[in-house]
A and B are shown apart, each in its own frame.
Chain A
Amino acid sequence: MHELPVTEQIVGIVLDHARKAKAGRVLKINLVIGELSGFSGESIQFYFDLFSKGTEAEEALLFISRVPARARCQACKQEFNPEGMNWFCPACGGPIEEILGGREFYIESIEVE
């Protein structure tokens, strides 16, 4: 599954920032994963333990913020969270104008010492 190379990327980016900050240990990694991105937090945790072994991030806690899908209605401009079969505006029934959130896949911050 693709969480393997993706987690390798995460560990690389984290270590890069940790070393730039002259940190000895990474304590926590804050990830943001959108509901529409297709990535699984559980799989990332699994591979993370593998890739971080022997590095400054070895005992870091992975904290994942999941972002639900969010959209704006084309007709009344109301924002809402589409889910299941509800992809039309709950206020007026209009279609989506733009997806505002749910595709996130980034490292927000790390905590080091």
Chain B
Amino acid sequence: MKKVTVITQILSANDQIAEENQRLLRDQRILAVNLMASPGAGKTSLILQTGKALEGRARIGVVEGDVASRIDADKVASQNIPVIQINTGGECHLDAATVRKALKALPLSEVDILFIENIGNLICPVEFKLGEEIRVVVASVPEGDDKPYKYPGIFTAVNAVVLNKMDLAPYVEFDFNELRKAIAGMNRKAKLFQVSCRTGEGVAPWADWLEGQWRTRKHGA
């Protein structure tokens, strides 16, 4: 019997492709955002609102990931945003190889900020790097204020948390201080934004921050 040391990351194949994606995006001076959330939290709505807010300031592109249908890509396309729809047919997260294919079909020279809208899921996407620069989770008021404790894997891994559906706060049990405290404990560097994609409230500071992230890298990279 012989013991063979392996020490190999199981996702090393995915990580390698993610690194290639990242290099490609950086070369194009594109800020890539891996946008994650539960189904229905508001990923697509946030993309649409951000597109409106950044009009004339930064050009948006989208890689739209869903198990099935073109519903989200059609919404994005109707706002004249370049978009590619990926249907995974069952896979619960996007991976770097799938994103690489999508990148080939996008007019990258016409994109400043690329949203990669991941599959609606708070668990599976976390460990699969796609080549993104920034990771964002969209939480929503009806989901409850304890989600960081229930899904520490994702809430500790993101650069920003966007809390959507603030317009519903008067109608559900939600303690914003509890959510803020949870994030402050487990991920104090994460920016926390409160928005309502339906009313537009709070979108401006989020869009400003995102544009700042893009400009910093564009000039510093």
Contact = CB atoms under 8 A, between A and B. Distances in A.
Contact residues of A: prevailing secondary structure: mixed
B45 to A, nearest CB: 25
B10 A111 contact: no
Given A36-B153, A82-B186, A87-B152, A111 B7 contact: no
Contact residues of B: prevailing secondary structure: mixed
B6 A110 contact: yes
Interface string A92-113: 0001110100010111111111
B1 A38 contact: no
Interface in B158-203: 182, 184-188
Interface of A: 1-2, 5-6, 9-10, 13-14, 17-18, 21, 23, 27, 31, 36-39, 69, 71, 74, 82, 84-85, 87-88, 95-97, 99, 103, 105-113
Interface residues of B, number: 34
B152 A96 contact: no
Given A85-B149, A95-B188, A2 B1 contact: no
A98 B10 CA distance: 23
A96 B152 CA distance: 13
B67 interface: no
Contacts of B128: 2
A109 B4 contact: yes
B34 to A, nearest CB: 15
